[in-house]
Every structure is written in structure tokens, then in C-alpha cells.
A and B are shown apart, each in its own frame.
Chain A
Amino acid sequence: MEFDLIHNLGIGFGVALSWQNLMYCFFGVVLGTLIGVLPGIGPVATIAMLLPVTFNLSPISALIMLAGIYYGAQYGGSTTAILVNIPGESSSVITCLDGYAMARQGRAGPALAIAAIGSFFAGCVATVVIALFAPPLAEVALKFGPAEYFSLMILGLVGATVLAHGSLVKAIAMTLLGLLLGLIGTDVNSGIARFSFGLPELSDGIGFVIVAMGVFGFAEIITNLEQGESRDVFVNKVTGLMPTWKDLKDSSGAILRGTALGSMLGILPGGGALLSSFAAYTLEKKIGDTSMFGKGEIRGVAAPESANNAGAQTSFIPLLTLGIPSNPVMALMIGAMMIQGIAPGPQVMTERPELFWGMIASMWIGNLMLVILNLPLIGIWVKLLTVPYRLLYPSILLFCCVGVYSLSNAPFDVMLTAVFGLLGYIFVKLECEPAPLILGFILGPLMEENLRRAMLLSRGDATVFFTKPISGVLLGMAIVLLLITLAPTVRKTREVAFQE
């Protein structure tokens, strides 16, 4: 077994280290970083546009390049989240909370550096996880049926209450609003459009990027402009670009925990990777000294960034072992494989070992390239903050609009983002946190879908949620967490800890 692994990795590195594959890998990660940094322009649009280019490449070079774009974007996506509070990717929403707070204190450099270091560590670990355990982990992923997903979402939603720093009532209200927004669109079971007001553009629901970019990014820009040009804190207080030893020591535990959580949740094909950054942040906020969360806690950057990169990497497991894509990017990867005449599925590993192991080896090489590429870039990114508002904000808005438009080539989406920007500004004025809204928005539709599916499968018997072992354990954990949150003594400490 061990010999096999070394032998297989030997094949993999043999393939990945050929000069042309190194070149494609480098091209992929550079392009990925760039589109990750540009808010809104995501890997889906980029990979789709590059698909015809891959027709003429060898299958392994094509896949190495496309995979590079995907995890490169995960690295780059955190940059705008930290610098200007705009999450380009779903995975970097949580990074906004403490990453942007750090930037405001002049610590954008350490935040960016710890995000890159955490991502690198997570990427390396997740690559080893794929190499060692891909087939058995795929079996675990299959244990998650509709009932299990529903219970996992419940646990996530209960955990969401800790996402807020302010009033608990407002956090619950925002979560509910998020759930409601998530209901917009076609009902999966009956196929009937809900709350779409007869607009075909709303029939598939509101895109995640639209809501996130509106309530985080646009709202932040409006708020900043209201205060005029007073960014002394940003620019003058920059205290070194690299994290201090204390920063590294503080975040090492968070990186480890984030990596573990992300690697586990990433294998679930039903949106697990999406949840990993939320889950990691929630976990961090439950342990150790929590007084600094939301005010620039470096662990609040380290944990979700490690988790989302680990999740991005392990989400290749269902693709490579079962042929099941866990997100739109993976669906495109399947398209790319089919074009090359490779049917993604269980046989890829045995029939095309050079492809499977070559890709795994390239992931490790790509992660190394990314960290080498990203650390020197930090100085340049931080300098971006000194660009005057009158130049910085119009260009950010322009890129955002281009990015949102590129999601489905619809002008309607751009208008909708503007509406959410306005809504986000109102939330700022009302002191309502947008993070619980986003979580409700993501979890709501998934929960409903899985609840109804589980009930359809059990023919209306609601006890399945408790009788299925995994589902039962998850629900039990949710109940315990709820009790802890609601217990009066804990609530008191919570108020002390989280009220500003």
C-alpha cells in the first residue's frame, strides 16, 4: 500500500514536473489569482471561456491548467475580501469579517499573508488526504443522503447565531430574511416559480454573488464615501507587511482546525465546501479568547481561509472517484474531461493513473507556486489602499459590474446587485450584520430541498431524521449547541463578549 502510494506519486510527479505541464500549471494559477482578485469575475466564466483552448492540449495539461485556475482563484478571492470588503467567491465571505477589520487597523499585510500561508498549508494537507484516502472518503460522502444533509444544515444554522457580534435578535432576523430571499426561484418539487413576480430572470433564484457583493461590497463603498476621504488609519498605521511571530503562533491552531474541517466538509458533493469556511469560523469563535472576533482577530482570517482551500481541494474527490461534480466549476471540469474523451468516474484512477496522480501532484506544485507568487504581491496589494477613493471606487464598481454581468450575461443581475447594495447600506444604518443573512440565504434553499426530499423518500415519516445514525448525531449536536447558546449564564458571557 505504502509502496503503491510512493510509486503512484512517482508517476504523478513525473507527469506534473514536465516543463510543459509546469508551464500550464503556472499559467493556471496566475490566471486564477488574477480573476480571484478581480471582484466578481469567477473561475466559472474563465474556465468556460478557456474550454475551446483545451481541445488542442493533452488531457492532463488541460486539467492541470483548469484546476490551477480554480484553486488560484481561492487564493486571490480573499484579497479583495480583506482589502475592500468585497467577497468575489462564496468561500471568502467570512474572510471579510475579520480580514477587513484588520485592514482598517493597518494590518492588511499580515491578514493577506496569513491567508496565503493558511491556504498553502491546507492545500498541502488536502492533497495528501486525496492521495491517501480518496476512494474510502468517497464512500463516506455517499453516506450523506437527504436526511443527513438536512441535519447538517440545521447544525450550521444554529451555529450561525454566533456569527453576529451585536444583538442576537437582529442576527436571527437577518438569518430569517436570508432564508426568505433564498426561497425566491423555482420550487424544485413542483417546478413552480415562487416570489418571482412574473420575471423570468428571477425564476432560477437570486445568485449568491449578487447578494454578497451588494450587501458587503457596494454597501461598504457607499458607507465609506459618506464619511469622506479619511483613511488615515488604513494607510498611515501600516505596521509591517508580514505577520509577526505572535500572529503565526496565534493562528497556527486555527489553521490546523480549519484545514481539518475543510477537508472533511469538502468531500460532501452537496455544497459541503461552501459551508466549510462558515463552519471553521463558527468553531474558532467557540474556543479560546473570543473578545477580538469581528474586530480584526487573525484567527478569524486563518481558519476560514484554510478551510475553504482545503475544501476546494477535497471537492475533487467526488469528481475523480465517482464522476460527481460538487459545484459549477467541477461541472466544467467534467465537460473538459469529456471533450478529451475521458469519462469521469471510478475507472479514471485505474485506467488513467497518470491523469489522476499527475493532477494530484500538480495541485501540490500549484499550491507552492501560489504561495511564492502571493507573498511578494502583498506589498503591491496593500499599496492599492493608498489609491484615492475617486479612482479606486469607480474602478472597483466597474469590475464588480463586469463580474456580475459575466455570471449569466444578464444586465438584470447588475441592477439587482445595485438594489442589494442599497439594502446593505440600510443594514449598516440599522446596525444589522450581513453575515447571518448570507448564511440563511445559502442554507435556506438547501435545507428546504433536502427536508422535502427526505420526507418524499420516507413517504412522510419525519422520524427518519432521528433514526438514521449520522443524521441523529448531527441533530443531537445542534440541540446541544442550541441549549448552550440559550443557557442564561452562557448568554451573559456572550453579551459581554460580543457587544461592542
Chain B
Amino acid sequence: MSRWSRFTLRSIVALMLALGCTTASAQSYPTKPIRLVVPYPAGGPLDIMARAIGQKLTEAWNQPVLIDNRAGAGGNIGADLVAKSAADGYTLLMGAVATHAINPTLYGKIPYDPVKDFTPVALVAQVPNILVVNPSVPARSVRELIELARERPGYLNYGSGSTGSTGHLAGELFKTMAGVQMVHIPYKGGAPAMADLLSGQVQLMFDNLANALPNVKAGRLRALAVTTLARAPAMPDLPTIAESGLPGFDLTTWFGVMVPAGTPPEIVTRLNAEIVRALNATDMRERLQKMGTEPPANNTPEHFAAFIRTEATKYAKVVKDSGARVD
């Protein structure tokens, strides 16, 4: 046997083995621990949901799901890590509105392609923000707030957790649509911004519902409206901004599981089915309810992909209009 034919034989054997492995891995997936990358520090709603889902997948598949917090650069570091990982279904990303809709425009250039480098698996949650004001602000509705901003230009400050966050962009969208002036006060995270809102240093904030709700209930903050198109199930009496004079106003903070592009479709399907099942479990429904939302309807990879595309287009415009830019 010549060297070449021996080589060919070996290659064929190797190829067959490799193919065998791939088929086997798709059928018996998962056969080893799975890593779920969270591109933010531990402790936020996204991290908490990632851990809860990880726990459910672990129970269902008897393979540990490890949460890997890779914070930094507005989520870009973690997202980039997954974009460049093996597409074998063992590295997942908890992607978010920031990493896949806001940052591409906000940062100008990012190290990954939010569309080409990822295959969306399932949306996990779409959390509404609510517009809350310090009780010292006389406005009791969105209309009154807009009037107030017109009468007293330069009076209103709105806080946010960071430049380019949904809280910031909601404020910018509000300013553009209502044609009013407010000053954006950015903080390092939502907590100090909330402290200054409670003390009246800043007058209003577009904060996520779960975070603001306790202080609304205690009367330390007044909720004026919710930023989503539909009312939030957790606060059915709270009007939307869209129905309060700014039709079409619609912003949510969302996050969902994604895998690197090229991951075998069978694995994507399996992951999607198990995550959707996890989200519909009683305890998970309760958790989502606390966050002001419910398990996303029609949660297929295709829907999620389409949703991301719509969101990216929407935020590209909002970010550009706001003039925010990070280079």
C-alpha cells in the first residue's frame, strides 16, 4: 500500500468517525457540561433568569449547566466570546437587547456580527420599563408631564443606569416624540440612579418594572406609564405611554438564549423545546410575573430571529436620533 492510499484510508476512517460522532452528538446531546455565558456581572434579572434556566436544563438533562459571567464593554466581551466558540451546542449565550440591538449602532464597531455570528434559540423574557417620577413632581400622567416639561424647560432630569441603556434610550425617544427637553443624568448602574430618584435629585426614570415596583407600592415613587405597547400584566391599571399621547412608543428590555452560527439545527430545536418547557413551569411563570411579564408566546427560533431583526432596526434609529455614541 502506498503512502498516499494509506493516508486516504486513514482520512476516510477519520471522516467516518467524525461523522459518526456528529450524528451521535446531535442525538444524544448533551453528553458533557454546557456553558451558558452571561455577558453581565452576577445578580441582575438577566443573570438570575440564566441561573434559573440553567438549573432547569440541568435537572432535565442530568448534565451541569455552568453560568459563566463574562462582563465588560456593555456585554460585547461575553457575546464576542460565544460568537467565536465552537458551534457544538455546548456554549450558549444569554444575549440581550444591548448586545444584539443597541450596541451595534451605539459602539459603531463591535468585534462580532450580531446577525451572522449567532443562531437565536429562544426568547426568555421581555421586561417592560415603567416611567416613574419622584412624588415631588406635580405631574400625575404622561400628558401632565409633557405639559410640565414644556412650561418649565430645564427643570426635569432623568436618571439611567448607563449611557446607551434602555432607560437612557427610552428617555431620548420620549424627548423626540414629545418634543420636550429633559437632561439625561447617567449613573454607574441602576442602584445609584434609583437612590437619587428616591431623594429627588433626579425627577424621573424609565426603570425596569420589577426594580421600581416596591417603591411605587410604598408611595416613594409615582408610576405614570409603562413603556411597552401593551399594558403590563403585573400592573393592568397602569396606562402605556403609547395610549397617553405618544402613539407607537414601544420599548422593552429583552434577553434570550443564542448559540454560535452553524450549530446543528437538531440541537437548536432541542434547546428551544427544553427552554420553552422550563419557562412554562409554574415556578418560572411566577418569577416572570414578578418581573412584570409572562412566558413569550410563539417562542420558536425563527420568531426570535425575526424579533431581533426588528429590534435592531428600531434601536438603530433611536440610538442615532439620541446622538449617543460610544467609540
Using a CB–CB cutoff of 8 Å, the interface residues on chain A facing chain B are 44-45, 47-48, 51-52, 55, 141-146, 186, 188-193, 200-201, 203-204, 269-270, 318, 322-326, 328, 331-332, 334-335, 338-339, 341, 343-348, 408-410, 449, 453, 456-457, 459
Contacts and interface: CB of A to CB of B under 8 A. Distances in A.
Contact of A191 (B187, B290, B324): B324
A328 B191 CA distance: 10
Contacts of A343: 210, 213-214, 290
The 10 closest A-B pairs by CB, nearest first: A345-B214, A191-B163, A48-B42, A346-B218, A142-B199, A331-B43, A191-B326, A343-B214, A203-B73, A332-B43
A323 B221 CA distance: 13
Given A332-B43, A335-B47, A457-B157, A192 B327 contact: yes
Nearest to B66: A49
Given A188-B187, A191-B324, A410 B70 contact: yes
Contacts of A193: 73, 326-327
A346 B214 contact: yes
B63 interface: no
B111 interface: yes
B311 interface: no
Given A146-B201, A328-B41, A347 B218 contact: yes
A323 B215 contact: yes
A322 to B, nearest CB: 6
Contacts of B77: 200-201, 410
Interface residues of B, number: 57
A341 B286 contact: yes
A48 B43 contact: yes
Nearest to A350: B218
A62 to B, nearest CB: 13
A393 to B, nearest CB: 30
A270 B192 contact: yes
Contacts of B129: none
Contacts of A331: 41, 43-44, 191
Pick the most buried of B43, B52, B199, B324: most chain A CB atoms within 10 A of its CB: B43
13 contacts: A48-B69, A141-B195, A145-B201, A190-B163, A190-B326, A191-B162, A192-B327, A322-B195, A322-B215, A345-B217, A346-B215, A453-B185, A457-B157
Contacts of B33: none
Nearest to B72: A204
B196 A338 contact: no
B71 A204 contact: yes
B196 A189 contact: no
Contact of A204 (B68, B73, B220): B73
Contacts of A55: 52, 55
A456 B72 contact: no
Contacts of A186: 73, 326
Nearest to A406: B69
A196 to B, nearest CB: 9
Contacts of B51: 51-52, 339
A212 to B, nearest CB: 19
Interface in B157-176: 157, 162-164
A111 B277 CA distance: 55
B122 interface: no
Contact of A456 (B106, B185, B199, B211): B185
Contact of A344 (B44, B72, B199, B214): B214
B290 A322 contact: no
B41 A189 contact: no
Nearest to A445: B188
Contacts of B76: 200
Interface string B37-58: 0000111110110011011000
Contact of A200 (B73, B183, B220): B73
Contacts of A346: 214-215, 218, 220
Contact of A335 (B48, B157, B191): B48
A322 B201 contact: no
Contacts of B326: 186, 190-193
Nearest to B65: A52
B88 interface: no
A55 B58 CA distance: 14
Contacts of A141: 195
Nearest to A187: B163
Nearest to B219: A346
B210 A338 contact: yes
A52 B59 CA distance: 12
A348 B213 CA distance: 13
B202 interface: yes
Contact of A457 (B47, B48, B73, B185): B185
Contacts of B220: 322, 346
A411 to B, nearest CB: 11
Given A331-B44, A343-B213, A189 B72 contact: no
B81 to A, nearest CB: 9
B70 A408 contact: yes
Contacts of A328: 41-43
Interface string B221-249: 00000000000000000000000000000
Contacts of A52: 51-52, 54-55
Contact of B195 (A269, A341, A345): A269
B186 interface: yes
Interface string B298-327: 000000000000000000000000001111
Contacts of A324: 191-192, 194-195, 198
Contacts of A192: 326-327
A410 B41 CA distance: 13
B294 interface: no
Given A141-B195, A203-B72, 7 more contacts: A52-B51, A142-B198, A191-B186, A341-B290, A345-B215, A408-B41, A457-B185
A159 to B, nearest CB: 23
B179 interface: no
Given A55-B52, A55-B55, A44 B70 contact: no
A453 B158 CA distance: 12
B292 to A, nearest CB: 11
Interface in B6-52: 41-45, 47-48, 51-52
Contacts of B201: 145-146, 457
Contacts of A459: 154, 183
Interface in B70-88: 70-73, 76-77, 80
A124 B198 CA distance: 30
A339 B183 CA distance: 34
Contacts of B202: 457
Contacts of B43: 48, 325, 328, 331-332, 334-335
A280 B184 CA distance: 36
Contacts of B218: 345-347
Contacts of A142: 195, 198-199
